[in-house]
Amino acid sequence: CAAHDPASIAIASDIETPDKAGGKPENELTPDDTSYQILRVNFAINGEQGVTIPYTPAYIPLIDRMLKIPCAHYWWNGYGYDWARIMAAGHQVPAEHQIDLMLAAHILQSDVPLGLGFWAPFYSNYGAWKHLSGVDPEKYACIDGPQTYRCGVGIINDLIQAGQWRAFKEDCHDLYHTALKPAQDVGVLIDRPALGEFHTNLAVKQLERLHKGGALSAE
């Protein structure tokens, strides 16, 4: 279906790692979190059903096929966490189809928490599930997919209705995939000693300005 009409389907995708144990909010995860071990991968193609697949040799080819399907893939904090681990594991996913819903949510409403557990009640009446991560990780993982899917449909529709879709599509999605990620892959050489000296100079100038401002205030 996706091969013939990519616009007709979307897949909510998500990975589970030791970093996510205990239901840690997605917005608190960063590329610097230590674990690159993928425990399982979750998928959903609608808001009613989800599957979780163990990341073991027997299932990795199937997971790879799912990730490569040329349709929209909904992630929550893909930019900040999941995508780096998926690519480090050797999966070459079509970049233009990867949509980070957490960034989309931030464009829609920038002054609220960005965890999936916070946003889900606006688009789903399922109820709480993040607490299941430690006691029933398989059920928790199966729920993650449909909840992500529901948020994806809702957030994207709300962005379009609010006239904010262009801001997300061009200023976040396209910028990352066409400029920031390729630059990250190439790498930027950093002169660490010079950077340290630069930070020191800035700190000195900041103190000078604060002292000068304090002196003026005293006068």
Residue 111: predicted pLDDT: 93
Residue 179: predicted pLDDT: 84
Average pLDDT over residues 6-12: 81
48-83 confidence digits (pLDDT tens): 999 999 999 999 999 999 999 989 999 999 988 898
- Closest listed residue to residue 147, CA positions, set 130, 133, 172: 130
Average pLDDT over residues 137-157: 95
123-142 confidence digits (pLDDT tens): 999 999 988 888 898 999 99
DSSP annotation of 63:
H
CA within 13 Å, CB half, 14: 27
16-36 confidence digits (pLDDT tens): 998 777 666 666 766 566 788
| pLDDT greater than 60 at residue 2 | no
- Residue 209 CA, chain-centre distance (Å), reads 39
- Of 184 and 62, the one with more pLDDT: 62
| pLDDT greater than 70 at residue 3 | no
Average pLDDT over residues 77-99: 89
5-9, 74-78, 143-147, 199-203: least confidently modelled range:
5-9
Distance CA 66, CA 212 (A): 61
- Identify the band that residue 210 occupies on the pLDDT scale cut at 50, 70 and 90: confident
Distance CA 216, CA 219 (A): 5
Residue 140: predicted pLDDT: 92
